[in-house]
Amino acid sequence: MPNTHAGCQTFPLPPECAEFPYISCPHGHWVDTTTFTLYALSLSIVMEPIKVYHHFKTELIDKSDRVSLVERAVHDLLMTSKLADVERESTVCWELKHSTSTAQFARVLARKRNLPIDICSVGMMLHDIYSMIHGTYKDHAHRGAPLAMDLLKDKGGFSDEELDKIYRLIYHHSDKHVWSDDPLEEFGKDVDVLDCFLYEGAFDFYLGNKPLKVFVGYLERAKRVWRELGIPQDLRFNLLNSYSEDWFGNLLAVQKAEQALYLLNMLSSESVSLSFRPPPFLILQHGRQAEFWGDKDSWTSYHGTLKSSEIECLEPALLDPCRELVAALAQVTETAPDLPYTEGDETNPEAFSEVASHLAAGTHAEARAVLFWPVVGIYELLEGDKMKKRLEELGVVAAQHEKGKKDVS
Ligand SMILES: [Fe+2]
Ligand SMILES: [Fe+2]
């Protein structure tokens, strides 16, 4: 405390003066009003008396602490929800975790991007409010923005301009594949992606629930945000780098389907580092015949990688057959070759039996397919409408159609 008594030159003040720091002291000195006024003014601007942290106890949250009030309200909404987990597409646990972690990531990324921290954290806390209340994600971003406005107006403390920013963040957050110039719109998408890709099940979920052309946007965002935060890149984010609507427009040549599966399974193994895992490929089965489909450019490039490198954890004796196989796959055929299954082939390992037996089971006319994503260690068993949709996304149907036209002519 400065010596506010012009006549008392000691610091700290003598005890008898300290009792009267802002008026006169027993020595008859009067307060130095200029010093006092400046001191009191600066104190009132930058400092407050120490207080106990509220730890979100409702009664301890200051009425002016608008962010904490909203955070508490969201948690109350979830903890008292009558909608059981079985009626939800996710769970109350997930909603609590995701809303909290995205709000915290928002505080970090908003600082990095010089955006308003309160607005960004409240926006992320509320971005999935429709799912929290109704348990479904269908159009939840668009439907959730007005619900968030109702809650915020009820709590108070946000200007119209701030409400508009939060609205934009929530309303657009699902359009990850759309790029805009609005920093608030982009913020909601980026933070959502940042949080979700920290969960191991992210690739399974997105591959199972998003069209590939939309998932491309998620992966691109993840790469950009990781780079922005200086986090080492995750090679799995390159999964759809070369994706296009006619991505698998090439039928890859291979003579022995089961042998190919065996070798590709080895290359896809967890013990082989991500940089040596093969590109995605599809096995399309017609009765006892199988076709291999993939992206020609990716396989050609992969062939080059294999030619010039030793693959970690792969015995040298197995490397040559792998190279031969990939060389064969990298060639593109004009017409579909006859690719017989060799039933009981001794190269079919026990560990790979699930996929192999699934394929071998298709002994009748019904076509089925298995789509392999080696870099993320996932394969999709495809049948019926799901298969039709996936083949269209990959461009396989289009290619077959073209081939059919050629055969007729
Ligand atoms: Fe969402
Ligand atoms: Fe979300």
Q: Is 128 exposed, middle or buried (0-12, 13-18, 19+ CB in 10 A)?
A: buried
User: Distance of CA 154 to CAs 54, 68, 105, 121, 142, Å?
Assistant: 21, 14, 25, 18, 20
DSSP class of residue 49 equals: -
How confident is the model at residue 279, as a pLDDT? Answer: 93
Q: State the ligand closest to the CA atom of 130.
A: 1
How confident is the model at residue 12, as a pLDDT? Answer: 58
How confident is the model at residue 186, as a pLDDT? Answer: 98
Cα of 268 from ligand 1 centre, angstroms? 32
Q: Which two tokens stand for residue 406?
A: 């050629």
Calculated CA dihedral for residues 340, 346, 352, 354, nearest 10 degrees: 60
Question: How far, in Å, CA of 312 to CA of 303, rounded?
Answer: 16
Nearest alpha carbon to residue 323 among 243, 361, 267: 267
| Residues of the chain falling short of pLDDT 50 | 1-5, 334-342, 344-353, 363-365, 401-409
User: Distance of CA 178 to CAs 9, 171, 174, 319, Å?
Assistant: 67, 13, 9, 42
According to the CATH classification, is domain 58-196 in 1.10.3210? yes
How confident is the model at residue 376, as a pLDDT? Answer: 93
Q: Range(s) for CATH 1.10.3210 in the chain? A: 58-196
How confident is the model at residue 316, as a pLDDT? Answer: 78
Cα of 355 from ligand 2 centre, angstroms? 33
How confident is the model at residue 115, as a pLDDT? Answer: 98
For residues 120 and 106, the answer to whether their CB atoms sit within 8 Å is yes
Q: What is the pTM of this model?
A: 0.79
Cα of 56 from ligand 2 centre, angstroms? 23
DSSP lists the bridge partners of residue 252 as 292, 332
* Residues, CB-to-ion distance under 5 Å, ligand 1: 128
Question: How far, in Å, CA of 265 to CA of 48, rounded?
Answer: 64
For residues 53 and 62, the answer to whether their CB atoms sit within 8 Å is no
Cα of 127 from ligand 2 centre, angstroms? 6
Cα of 93 from ligand 2 centre, angstroms? 13
Question: How far, in Å, CA of 215 to CA of 394, rounded?
Answer: 13
